[in-house]
Amino acid sequence: MIPANVRDNFPILKQKMNGKPLIYLDSAATSQKPKRVIEALVRYYQEYNANVHRGIYRIAEEATQRYEASRAKVAAFINARRPEEVVFTRSTTEAINLVAYAWGRVNIREGDEIVLTEMEHHSNLVPWQLLAAEKRAKLKFIPFDSQGVLQLDEYERLLSERTKLVAFTHQSNVLGTINPVNEMARKAHAAGALVLVDGAQSAPHMPVDVQDLGVDFFALSAHKMCGPTGAGAIWARYEILDAMPPFHGGGEMIMLVQLDKTTYKDPPYKFEAGTPNIADCIVWADAIDYLQGIGMAAIREHEKQLTAYTLSQLSDVPGITIFGSRNLEHRGGVVSFELDGIHPHDVAQVLDQEGIAVRAGHHCAQPLHRRLGVAASTRASFYLYSTEQDVDALVRGLQVVRRVFSPKPAPVSGA
């Protein structure tokens, strides 16, 4: 159960927008931050701001200790075997680029194939396009059906001995679809391929166990899970990280530097060149403590119920098309829709007047929208602080949208 007073933990939700309470329905873009996370950021800068892994004075040691403690916390949160399997990055986007660059450049060769899906966020598509173009490799795409569910029979047909990697999102940021990671990973491994999962939308919203999922890489962002922006991670099995060359070169990732050659540290430091995003990585641990205090299973259950409520309330809105599956076992707290004849940007603008924040556009998933046959959609997305009252406000807001954009009666002619 989510505590009844959970919203009190989020100062931003007390604000008014256009004289109306802020209804925040864009958590898939970024989550709001609890007070303890905001305070932990201030505490870092006020009390122990120092660079990590280099100072031997007290506050530098404290910063280093907390930075490494946060790595261990992230590792435990996704049940990694050891903290060294977690490499801090700026974001999911950077995490996937790290794999595409460092792993991809030595493991992908001409004629190799990378299997993706048609529901990927651009950050799990464009890095592979860049790699494929450089290596003359081929990208193949698992289609999804009219319910927004991946077609696994097609997936099996796409796999071959040429497949080197299968990379897909755990939960779609547009359709909400939760993909069957275990089954997909088993099939990929049977074909001899590695598996990367984009966990940007799953890690914040459900229990995640990378060992149980049976994958090789898992990417996530702190800012979508009550943490600060600018912190993310790639998890990979240690042997894989160990065999990978570095991503960025610079300070801190080295053992010995000579003018003509350098030896590198072991993972994860090999992949963390330069001064990292210290404050945000440290404070990610506070966000995880906060989420675990509530419980990831409780958060998943709350969003499941809220999504069921939303699907039922929205289906009464005239002219609405809701995308994605009605099966809540395989759907997270994201509801994207189209209102017949009204551009999503117009929908979002009128909703903003009502104090309601939703996202309108392609949500960084243009091929997905093309497949749905629309250029854009309007999206409401939830988190632990979202309520049925938020959804009721959305439904009322959509009635206002309808009134504003309803066709005007034709002028009476010939009078």
Is residue 328 close enough to count as binding ligand 7TS by CB under 6 A? no
Min separation Cβ 1 and ligand 7TS, Å: 27
Site string for ligand 7TS, 116-155 (x = CB under 6 A): -----x-xx-------------------------------
Rule CB under 6 A: choose which of 13, 17, 22, 29 binds ligand 7TS.
Answer: 29
Q: Is residue 92 close enough to count as binding ligand 7TS by CB under 6 A? A: yes
* Residue of 37, 194, 364, 380 that binds ligand 7TS (CB under 6 A): 364
Shortest gap between Cβ of 318 and ligand 7TS (angstroms)? 27
With binding defined as CB under 6 A, does residue 169 bind ligand 7TS? yes
- Reported residue count of the chain is 415
CB of 100 to ligand 7TS, least distance (A): 13
Q: Is the peptide bond before 268 cis (omega within 30 degrees of 0)?
A: yes
DSSP calls for 315-375: TTSTTEEE-S-S-GGGB-SEEEEEETTB-HHHHHHHHHHTTEE-EEE-TT-HHHHHHHT-S
Cβ-based nearer residue to ligand 7TS, 9 or 89:
89
Angle at 118 between CA 113 and CA 119, to 5 degrees: 125
Kindly name the residue from 222, 358, 364, 376 that is annotated as catalytic: 364
Cα dihedral across residues 347, 350, 354, 355: positive or negative? positive
Residue 364: active-site member? yes
Kindly provide the residue ranges of all beta strands, DSSP E only, lying in 133-216, ordered along the sequence: 138-142, 163-169, 194-198
Q: Residue 203 Cβ, how far from ligand 7TS at the closest point, in Å?
A: 10
Stretch that binds ligand 7TS, among 40-48, 88-96, 243-251, 348-356 (CB under 6 A): 88-96
Q: Which of positions 183-242 make contact with ligand 7TS (CB under 6 A)? A: 198, 200-201, 221, 232
Determine contact, residues 344/338, Cβ cutoff 8 Å: yes
Q: How far is the CB of 332 from ligand 7TS (least distance, A)?
A: 11
- Give the whole-angstrom CA distance, residue 24 versus residue 5: 16
- 93 binds ligand 7TS, rule: CB under 6 A: yes
CB atoms within 10 A of CB 99: 27
Residue 179 in the binding site for ligand 7TS (CB under 6 A): no
Beta bridge partners of 381: 26, 334
Cα four-point dihedral sign 105, 110, 112, 115: positive
d(CA 40, CA 34): 10
Q: How far is the CB of 219 from ligand 7TS (least distance, A)?
A: 7
| Gap between the Cα atoms of 213 and 197, Å rounded | 10
Applying CB under 6 A, among 6, 28, 196, 380 the residue interacting with ligand 7TS is 28
Q: Which is nearer to ligand 7TS, 64 or 201 (CB)?
A: 201
Element (H, E) at 254: strand 254-257
Place of tokens 């992230």: 74
How many residues belong to the site for ligand 7TS (CB under 6 A)? 18
The strand pairing partners of 360, in sequence order, are 378
| 327 neighbors 31 (Cβ within 8 angstroms) | no
Nearer to ligand 7TS among residue 121 and residue 369 (C-beta): 121
Question: Residue type at 33?
Answer: K
The one among 31, 32, 91, 386 contacting ligand 7TS by CB under 6 A: 91
- Smallest distance, ligand 7TS to C-beta of residue 201, A: 5
| Residues acting as catalytic residues | 364
Please report, as ranges, the residues that interact with ligand 7TS according to CB under 6 A: 28-29, 91-93, 121, 123-124, 169, 173, 198, 200-201, 221, 232, 359, 363-364
